[in-house]
Amino acid sequence: MRLTAASGYTLMEILFVAVILGIVVSLVVPQYSRNIERVKAGDAVKILQALREAQEIYKFDNGVYAGDVNALEVSIPGSNFFDPPSVVAADPSVLAQITRKAATFNLGDPYTLRISQIGVMTCASSSYCSQLGF
């Protein structure tokens, strides 16, 4: 009867595979996080577009834009990721804005999305805005 050597992986082979997997994960996770945040920002954009349309209807009926979101005839769904939207009375070029909740945003400073009277979307208050495409 002939004895053969036990087959298996050496510690070096296992460590090499673990290092390669760690590198792959470190490259994939940040991109995944950015994509998830883009989807969340897309929901905020839809809310701001609905507010802009409601502002235009309000202006058509009353001659001026509303100074309060509650004066608009629009249903705004609650969000786990954004604070309730607001109207910026101090800046007439901004119809509404919505800010990312700081408690649920761990990728840097929270950002604020704004929509203008002509529908231009801008992003403020964060270095993360450029990664979102704003």
User: What is the per-residue pLDDT across 75-124, written as a single tens digit (0 to 9) for each?
Assistant: 888 888 898 998 876 677 888 899 888 777 766 678 889 998 888 898 88
User: Cβ(134)–Cβ(121) under 8 Å?
Assistant: yes
Residue 53 lies in a domain: yes
Residue 7 lies in a domain: no
Number of domains the chain contains: 1
Range of the domain at 19: 13-132
Residue written as tokens 């979307």?
Answer: 121
Residue 40 lies in a domain: yes
Looking up residue 52, the CATH number of its domain turns out to be 3.30.700
Q: Give tens-digit pLDDT for 52-73.
A: 999 889 989 998 888 888 888 8
Q: How many CA atoms lie within 13 A of 122 on its CB side?
A: 12
Ramachandran region, residue 122 (left: φ > 0; alpha: ψ -120 to 50; beta: rest): beta
Kindly report the pTM of this predicted structure: 0.74
